[in-house]
Structure 1
Amino acid sequence: RYSTDDDTQECGPGQETFKDEEAANSDLEWLEELYEEDNDDGGGDLALGADDGNKRSYAETARMFKLRRNQDQLECFHRQKEHHVQKAREELRLCRRNVDSLLAQRMNLEKELEQQKAKDDSVAVFRLRAQHKQLCQQLQNEEELEGRIRTELRQREWELIKVEVELGKVSMLRQEVQEEEELFQTLKAQKAATRLQQERKVGQNLQHELKLLRDKQEASLRKEEMEYQKKLEEGKKYQRIAVKYLNESLKKKRAQQQAAEKEQQSQELIEK
């Protein structure tokens, strides 16, 4: 019936403390990234309002996460020790009840044994003495078990007291840790909002640049089209001038040819 600490469920993976530790580790990773960004751009995003007006260091903020994790682990450990003590007390109560029951049985058996001795019933006396011996052995075993449980209970109660003392020390820092954690979460939200705003601004700038590029390309295409139309009109104009010049040249040449023919005919007539 007697159990040890192995019977209880330890604080470990799968419980709230482990989840809280994962969350704290995630926050620490985010904090490292944030400090790297802050050092790169020289900004003041991490001015968490320390009492001396200086920017809170990474070590100070990381200490807050460590305290929070220690609190959670210590509270889980305290619940575990309380469970051990309660279980040991219940086992002691059951063992004490068994001892009392065996004592009552032994008392009744001893009375019956005296009665059978008075009757000089040797068979009954022999049987009762055997039962008495067996009962005394059971009683001895239960009393030894009771002693071990009492010793273990005192040890567990002492361990519980030590945990409660440590928990009391840590609890004094609970308000400070809570305030720092709220401050950190506020910073985290502000940083996320700032990053989102920056990403939106980058997106808007990119869209603006793309629009400018499209407008520039469209303007360039319009200019090329206008220049092409201008050259086309000039080409047509020069073509008309060339055709006109060609026609005039042909007319002039025909006129000269006709004049030459007339002069030749006149010369032929004179010669005749």
Structure 2
Amino acid sequence: MPPLIASDPIIGAKFSRAAKHAIELKDSIAKWVDEETELVIDQSGDLKTASLRLIVSSPPRLPEWSVILGDTVHNLRSALDVWMYKYICSTYSGELHTEDKDVYFPIFKAGKDFRNWKAKTGIYLSDSMTSALLEAQPYRFDIPLAQNAMWLIHQFDIADKHREPLVMNLAAPSGLSPFKIRTYHPDYTENSIRARVASVSITEGGLMVVLESDYPLHNVELSSGLKLVPYFEFEGGNYQLMHTLREFLPGVQNMIRRVETAGTSST
């Protein structure tokens, strides 16, 4: 049997759709930033303080973006579940005595949950495939759940289907990187400046960065190519939007490849 990850058109279409949604989201946010926002620098009278503010001309399309983000994640989670269903159908010759809703790709944070799934669905799989799926579980990795791509996809998918949209905001790059600074004071060094960075409401704008200097800053400009960073908040964590999505798509594809290879190598 050829690997489903490479041969099944439905699974491939779901990955393609997820990638299309991610690109659509990136382009929509970038268009709004270019057309509806402005970054302004203000300086105090003594030139020792400079502030970077975000001015928002019209509100962002947060509900639309949240739906696109949800569609991206849902297609990835769905690709996992479709793979699991099709794998069982193509490898198990007997009759399935479980409901379709119980045939899904297991993503759990505790061993007891995997064992419960195995009692319902794992009985239709070979021992090697069950072992491969066990090794893929988030709780088997030596990283926090909040950093595990598979666990995040699972949780984001649940949140999108059952709760409020994910909260999105913008941030500027930290430290002095957004600025080009010139001063004529002979004792000035980069250590003469303290930078305070604040998250800012994507709908209202506001203060993003404050620079406080021991000496006058005679000219403060924005670095060329400065990009505002979209991020979203989930269960107390902040996730850079495009960085996270870039991890999700290959992460799911590679996980299925590893599981399928390991689960069929000894059968």
- TM value normalised by structure 2: 0.30
- TM value normalised by structure 1: 0.29
Structure whose alpha-carbon radius of gyration is higher: 1
Q: Which has the higher contact order (CA 8 A, sep 6+)?
A: 2
Greater share of residues in strand:
2
Greater share of residues in helix:
1
